Amino acid sequence: MVPVSTLITVLAYAVAILGYLPVAPHVDLAVRLAFPLAMAAGIVFDRKGKYPLTGIPSTIATIIPFVVYLLQLSMANPAAPVVNFLVVLLCVRIVNEKSPRNLLQIFALALFALASSSLFSLSALFLVYLFLQLALIAVSLVLLTFLSVDTRLRLTRQGLSRVVGVALAMPAASVPLLLIFFAILPRTQYPLLNFLNVPGERATGFSDRVEPGKTASVGDVKTVAFRAECPQLGRNDLYWRGIVFDALAGATWVRSEKRPDEVPAAPKGNEVRQVIYPEPSRNAYLLALDIPTRMDGVRASQGADFTFTRRVSGSGRIRYEANSVLSDAIPVPRGIDRDHYLRLPHQVSPRTAALARGFTAGTPNDDERLSRVETWFTQQGFRYATSGLAVAADPVDAFLFERRTGHCEFFASSFATLLRLAGVPARLVGGYYGGDFNEIGGYYVVTEDRAHVWVEAFIEKRGWVRIDPSSFAANFDRATPSRRSFATKLAAFADSLTWYWNQAVITYDLQKQVELVRRANRQFRGLNLPVVSRWLLPVAGGAAAFAVAVWWIVTFGGSTHEERLLRRFRARIEKSYGVPRNHRSRGLKELADMVNDPAVTEFAAIFGGAIYRDRRLTAEECRQLSLLVNAIGVPVRREDDKSS
């Protein structure tokens, strides 16, 4: 035998823990520690059956944090104080007596705490917490109902299993409804709580400027930058284009405000369609495989250098489709503003200038100069590294002649500077290189540590040609790792779950709803039944109509108007006064005396007056009786009520 009260207390603690865990990383340290302490105190008090903190101590423990967090509340920081206070309230409830009212408050607060965790992160784990919590709350609510009937009730194991089984049917049966409501409930075009979800600026990874020589090392950040759904491609095709840097500000490559107009032609090559799911960021540049030609599903403006920027700023989750041409050259038949792409940094060391002069000996064409720079780079044996980097005012000089070690920014900026010094127009392209193909989901995961910078050099008749100077490093490895460990597979599986969650839930918006309706509409229109089954629909419809007609005749058919009226009358009396309608032995007069309703009495008088004198009811009587049936059970207003 299990006491129901003990069982509910245990469930309440479990529900509270499920509410606390997801918000724990986001609350203040004091609040984070207060919860386990409150749990321990609550358990001790429950065992002793005494609650010394009830009353004034609890009120003080509520009011002080309320004032503290109210003062912290601002438009810039709306979520954290509220969530902290929620956890404080939960703590206060836990240390007090577990009365039905307090238990309901614990359930509500825990549910709010879990819901508020979605203000900080919307991971798939939220769903796990939610389902667990809903299941436990459902069981608790049912047990609470038992407790309200009998406070000292004890259930046998068998009885308990029956109760839990039926209680769990509630959340289980809600799942299909949940899915339907998820699909059809109206949504806004943009997430309302977007402003709460702004992630911190990334220290490393994709950036809107290239500034080598600033730090001695760059940390590898393994956070996901974006996921791209597309067929598996060769490693050399995986250049994800984001931004083009065309100007120099000191030693820093930036994107100039006024870029020269150029008219590129459509690049030639294999077309690849991708669906990109970027992680939320403040970055306005939309990424796609080099060279992107078109983007759908997001309002974006296209630059002449095939960069796409979002018109509406926002940091919520988005998804867009991109069309790319896998090519390493952008043809610009009408040429470019060469001067703009030949501008040099203010500071060029003499040995760099001297090196560049060597590439121009004999006034070769741009193609030849490029190949000379490439050859020189290949021969130097530069090494690719993310630590032990040169920190210098002239990073190009430091990289080329001293350290000879660097990451892609050093390689690209040095290569582009040498090209410009040699008279070849050049620019840098920022984006990502590579990606891990997830075979379960059929998409690439590109992490922040794959952020990359490469060079585009302008060659007459070919256009902007892609060169990746980092590939000239002695330790550069283009080989794809062939062996996939169990841990890697597991990580891929976990990532695919997150991806499906993001795809199915987080980015499900009005647009997808409209698309769903359209698709259903299209499929319905395109429904092409074979000749044999062409008659299926009318036949099935006819059969259904026939079934309804048979039911109607069996139920109501053959009955006179009087019989139908009497059936309605008895149904109404059953509904209003609980007198079973199948109680045929009871006469109308007897019924009228029993229920003491003027409408019933009048009905009995009119109906009996006609039927017992063996005459049919007149149309007027039928109308009157019908009105009387509707009036049964409706309280009669007194005369003084009417006059007022």
Contacts with another protein by CB under 8 A lie at 141-142, 144-146, 148-150, 153, 155, 159, 162-163, 166-167, 169-170, 173-174, 177, 574, 578-580, 582-583
Please state the closest distance from residue 150 (CB atom) to another protein, in A.
7
Please state the closest distance from residue 160 (CB atom) to another protein, in A.
10
CA distance 542 to 552: 15
Listed residue (189, 187, 225, 181) closest to 207, CA to CA: 225
State which H helix or E strand residue 496 sits in: helix 486-501
Name the residue nearer to another protein (CB basis): 21 or 108. 108
Name the residue nearer to another protein (CB basis): 184 or 216. 184
Name the residue nearer to another protein (CB basis): 166 or 536. 166
Please state the closest distance from residue 599 (CB atom) to another protein, in A.
20
Name the residue nearer to another protein (CB basis): 137 or 329. 137
CA distance 251 to 348: 10
Please state the closest distance from residue 592 (CB atom) to another protein, in A.
16
Please state the closest distance from residue 100 (CB atom) to another protein, in A.
9
Please state the closest distance from residue 170 (CB atom) to another protein, in A.
5
Name the residue nearer to another protein (CB basis): 59 or 148. 148
State the CB neighbour count (10 A cutoff) for residue 243. Answer: 25
DSSP string covering 181-225, please?
A: HHHHS---SS-TTGGGGPPPPPSSSS-S-B-TTS-S------SEE
Please state the closest distance from residue 139 (CB atom) to another protein, in A.
10
Name the residue nearer to another protein (CB basis): 579 or 605. 579
The tokens for 447 are: 């992490």
Name the residue nearer to another protein (CB basis): 150 or 620. 150
Please state the closest distance from residue 211 (CB atom) to another protein, in A.
58
Please state the closest distance from residue 99 (CB atom) to another protein, in A.
14
State which H helix or E strand residue 488 sits in: helix 486-501
Indicate the SS3 state at residue 373.
Answer: helix
Please state the closest distance from residue 196 (CB atom) to another protein, in A.
28
Per-residue HEC secondary structure of 144-176 comes to: HHHHHHCCCCEECHHHHHHHHHHHHHHHHHHHH
Name the residue nearer to another protein (CB basis): 173 or 510. 173
Name the residue nearer to another protein (CB basis): 21 or 132. 132
| Residues 232, 437 contacting (CB under 8 angstroms) | yes
CA distance 282 to 202: 10
CA distance 27 to 127: 20
DSSP strands (E only) in 288-366: 288-289, 292-296, 300-302, 308-310, 320-326, 329-330
Work out whether the CA dihedral 532, 535, 541, 544 comes out positive or negative. negative
- Cis ω for the linkage preceding 467 (within 30 of 0): no
CA distance 605 to 625: 10
Please state the closest distance from residue 1 (CB atom) to another protein, in A.
12
| Residues 114, 129 contacting (CB under 8 angstroms) | yes
CA distance 216 to 392: 10
DSSP strands (E only) in 206-346: 224-229, 239-245, 247-249, 252-254, 270-278, 285-286, 288-289, 292-296, 300-302, 308-310, 320-326, 329-330
| The pairing of beta strand 308-310 with beta strand 285-286 | antiparallel
Please state the closest distance from residue 597 (CB atom) to another protein, in A.
16
Work out whether the CA dihedral 202, 205, 207, 210 comes out positive or negative. positive
Name the residue nearer to another protein (CB basis): 574 or 602. 574
Name the residue nearer to another protein (CB basis): 127 or 173. 173
Please state the closest distance from residue 622 (CB atom) to another protein, in A.
28
Name the residue nearer to another protein (CB basis): 88 or 138. 138
Name the residue nearer to another protein (CB basis): 110 or 389. 110
Name the residue nearer to another protein (CB basis): 528 or 582. 582
Name the residue nearer to another protein (CB basis): 61 or 160. 160
Instruction: Give the alpha-carbon dihedral of 286, 287, 289, 293, to 10 degrees.
Output: 10
| Residues 97, 53 contacting (CB under 8 angstroms) | no
Listed residue (392, 402, 199, 162) closest to 281, CA to CA: 199
The tokens for 569 are: 């009358």
